């Protein structure tokens, strides 16, 4: 199976392999009841160049004589889950694993869910830190709910585990692999969502809790209760179709306070990058999960970019504007000088698991409605043209002080019964730079007049994995016809007049080099004299 997966196109191989692994759980031999299951290095087989699959892991069956939830829990959601379990309507924890990835720092107590099987890692895997931090490199033959209440707090790239996953290409592929392998992981945002939203992406692959250590615990409890409340036939179908996590994401988002209609669900308030615990409604989550029927489960939206003017290399450093392309999350970084950008995106690859007709909604979740134009081919169409104008830093919610540099566009599929979880297109802006645009005299659009690149001197924070600082400011001057007449670079040593990106007016050439300096990434300029 590993060789087959390695030969396929990345996105298709991820989805196909995840589907094959999801079906393994029902065929693996059963062992005696155990409170935990040990994963050893010898249980793993390499999955192409993507990660590892636990083909040697035997899933034990939980002891159904144990209570499904601790007796001391008097909450309405616990009472509802017990009623469902007593009536034989809840799938419980058969085929479900709990993966704690912070070595017990933020652990779901063992007596909270007595039937829940817990994953443990053997010494060789622990030595390689495969049990710790951001998940996704191992596909397990089970539905997995996991957490890591950790963050990178030192070194050159401090950040939350979720932001690490978004900014390292390999990890973004792992996140999608987990999504279609029925594995859901929860991480705290830890200082990445305080006064400013530092996430370059909003995606449905993980759940990010507002706060630091232990802020993930209420989410773990709510999701474990929800996955247990699914009807057995519904959960079997979700597992077969690799739709457990997209469906759980829909359940959590649709159940939030105030989200009482389809229109409310398809709005930014329901789909923030980070969720606060007071936005959880566990009783509603359990009830919605229990009500899902196998022939009504929603699909996973699969996006494909057909046209765009975001480039493989852009800006002075020639870095990619395409952070990553995965089926339910597309991420772009604005680097070029233009004021407006264009994308044509298709959701036509989306298939309803029951063959129902689908109606698509393309929604601005976060951004200035005057600067984002979304034009579907027709009402409910699976294809849309998206035009985005430059955004300075803005407040995503006018009632909150938090700022952001990211525009989010959500795509939803309606199958006549349920809306899907969103697929999200994110565009991140380099607002550590100071850009100024002006209207052209003939009203043909906006044009760039200056860029101050010196974020380090101004103390402007930026992510050195994605961006850089440079010790100069560029100024562009135009004539009456709109042609550039001057390109001036103001450096700490004086002003240079350029005739283009790579040449000074006197004939000397300019080249650029990116260098790391602790928590900074600096673009330096080298001037080569004329011969």
Question: At which residue do the structure tokens 């996590």 appear?
Answer: 245
HSE, CB side, 13 Å, CA atoms: give it for residue 244.
35
pLDDT tens track for 255-302: 999 999 999 999 999 999 999 999 999 999 999 999 999 999 999 999
Residue 530's pLDDT band, with cuts at 50, 70 and 90, is: confident
Percent of the chain with pLDDT over 70: 93
CB 151 within 8 A of CB 159: yes
CB 386 within 8 A of CB 425: yes
Percent of the chain with pLDDT over 90: 86
- pLDDT at residue 13 is higher than 90: no
Question: At which residue do the structure tokens 């300096």 appear?
Answer: 517
* Residues 6+ positions from 433 with CB-CB distance below 8 Å: 451, 452, 453, 455
Residue 339's pLDDT band, with cuts at 50, 70 and 90, is: very high
Helices (H) and strands (E) in the chain, counts: 12, 31
Domains in the chain (CATH in brackets) are: 2-291 (no CATH), 304-428 (2.60.40), 434-528 (no CATH)
CB 117 within 8 A of CB 96: yes
Neighbour count for residue 3 (Cβ, 10 Å): 8
CB 46 within 8 A of CB 2: yes
d(Cα 264, Cα 47) in Å, to the nearest integer? 40
CB 283 within 8 A of CB 80: yes
Residue 480's pLDDT band, with cuts at 50, 70 and 90, is: confident
Task: Look at residues 187, 145, 184 and name the one whose alpha carbon lies nearest to residue 163.
Answer: 187
d(Cα 278, Cα 257) in Å, to the nearest integer? 9
Q: What does residue 163 show for φ and ψ, rounded to 5 degrees?
A: -70, -35
pLDDT tens track for 424-451: 999 999 999 999 999 998 777 899 999 9
pLDDT tens track for 225-238: 999 999 999 999 99
CB 197 within 8 A of CB 417: no
Neighbour count for residue 143 (Cβ, 10 Å): 25
Round to the nearest angstrom and report the end-to-end CA distance of the chain: 60
Query: What's the whole-number average pLDDT of the chain?
Result: 93
Q: Which helix (H) or strand (E) holds 164?
A: helix 161-167
What is the chain's Cα-based Rg? 25
Distances (CA, A) of 348 to 22, 273, 330, 351, 363: 24, 25, 15, 8, 17
Q: Which two tokens stand for residue 122?
A: 């053997």
Residue 515's pLDDT is: 95
SS3 content of the chain, % helix, strand, coil (to 5): 20, 30, 50
Residue 499's pLDDT band, with cuts at 50, 70 and 90, is: confident
Residue 35's pLDDT band, with cuts at 50, 70 and 90, is: confident
d(Cα 209, Cα 190) in Å, to the nearest integer? 9
Choice between 37 and 482, residue whose per-residue pLDDT is larger: 37
β-sheet bridge partners, residue 344 = 307, 385
d(Cα 325, Cα 303) in Å, to the nearest integer? 9
Measured CA angle at 133 (ends 105, 282), to 5 deg: 65
CB 522 within 8 A of CB 472: no
Predicted structure pTM score:
0.93
Residue 289's pLDDT is: 98
Q: What are the E-state strand segments in 255-402?
A: 304-308, 322-326, 329-333, 340-346, 359-366, 372-376, 383-389, 394-395
Residue 531's pLDDT is: 64
d(Cα 398, Cα 237) in Å, to the nearest integer? 41
CB 312 within 8 A of CB 433: no
């Amino acid at each position: 199976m590993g060789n087959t997966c390695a030969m396929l196109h990345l996105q298709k191989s991820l989805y196909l392999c995840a589907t094959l692994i999801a079906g393994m759980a029902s065929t693996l031999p059963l062992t005696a009841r155990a409170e935990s299951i040990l994963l050893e290095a010898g249980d793993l087989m390499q999955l192409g160049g993507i990660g590892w699959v636990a083909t040697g892991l035997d899933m034990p069956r939980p002891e159904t004589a144990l209570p499904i939830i601790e007796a001391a829990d008097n909450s309405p959601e616990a009472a509802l889950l017990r009623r469902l379990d007593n009536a034989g309507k809840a799938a419980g924890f058969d085929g479900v694993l709990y993966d704690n990835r912070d070595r017990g720092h933020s652990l779901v107590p063992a007596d909270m869910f007595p039937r829940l099987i817990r994953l443990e890692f053997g010494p060789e895997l622990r030595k390689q830190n495969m049990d710790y931090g951001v998940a996704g490199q191992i596909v397990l033959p089970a539905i997995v709910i996991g957490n890591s209440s950790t963050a990178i707090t030192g070194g050159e790239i401090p950040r939350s585990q979720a932001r690490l996953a978004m900014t390292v290409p390999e990890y973004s592929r792992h996140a999608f692999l987990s999504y279609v392998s029925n594995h859901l992981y929860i991480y705290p945002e830890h200082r990445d969502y305080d006064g400013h939203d530092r996430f370059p992406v909003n995606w449905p692959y993980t759940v990010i809790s507002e706060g630091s250590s232990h802020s993930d615990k209420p989410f773990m409890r709510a999701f474990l209760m929800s996955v247990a409340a699914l009807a057995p036939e519904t959960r079997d179908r979700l597992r077969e179709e690799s739709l457990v996590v997209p469906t759980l994401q829909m359940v959590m988002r649709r159940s939030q306070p105030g989200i009482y209609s389809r229109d409310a669900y398809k709005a930014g308030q329901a789909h923030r990058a980070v969720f606060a615990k007071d936005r959880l409604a566990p009783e509603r989550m359990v009830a919605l999960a229990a009500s899902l029927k196998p022939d009504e489960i929603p699909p996973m939206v699969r996006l494909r970019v057909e046209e765009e003017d975001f480039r493989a290399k852009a800006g002075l450093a020639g870095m990619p504007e395409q952070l990553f392309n995965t089926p339910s999350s597309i991420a772009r970084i604005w680097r070029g000088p233009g004021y407006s950008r264009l994308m044509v995106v298709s959701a036509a690859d989306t298939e309803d698991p029951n063959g129902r007709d689908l109606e698509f909604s393309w929604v601005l979740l976060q951004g200035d409605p005057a600067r984002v134009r979304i034009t579907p081919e027709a009402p409910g169409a699976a294809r849309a043209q998206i035009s985005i104008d430059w955004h300075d830093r803005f407040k995503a919610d006018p009632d909150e002080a938090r700022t952001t540099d990211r525009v989010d566009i959500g795509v939803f599929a309606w199958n006549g019964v349920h809306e899907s979880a969103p697929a999200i297109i994110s565009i991140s802006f380099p607002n550590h730079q100071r850009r100024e645009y002006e209207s052209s005299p003939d009203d043909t659009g906006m044009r760039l007049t200056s860029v101050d690149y010196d974020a380090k001197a101004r103390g402007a924070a930026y992510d050195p994995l994605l961006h850089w600082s440079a010790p100069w400011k560029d100024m562009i001057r135009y004539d009456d016809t709109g042609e550039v007449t001057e390109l001036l670079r103001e450096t700490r040593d004086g002003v240079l007049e350029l005739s283009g990106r790579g040449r000074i007016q006197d004939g000397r050439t300019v080249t650029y080099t990116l260098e790391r300096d602790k928590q900074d990434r600096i673009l330096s300029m080298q001037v080569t004299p004329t011969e």
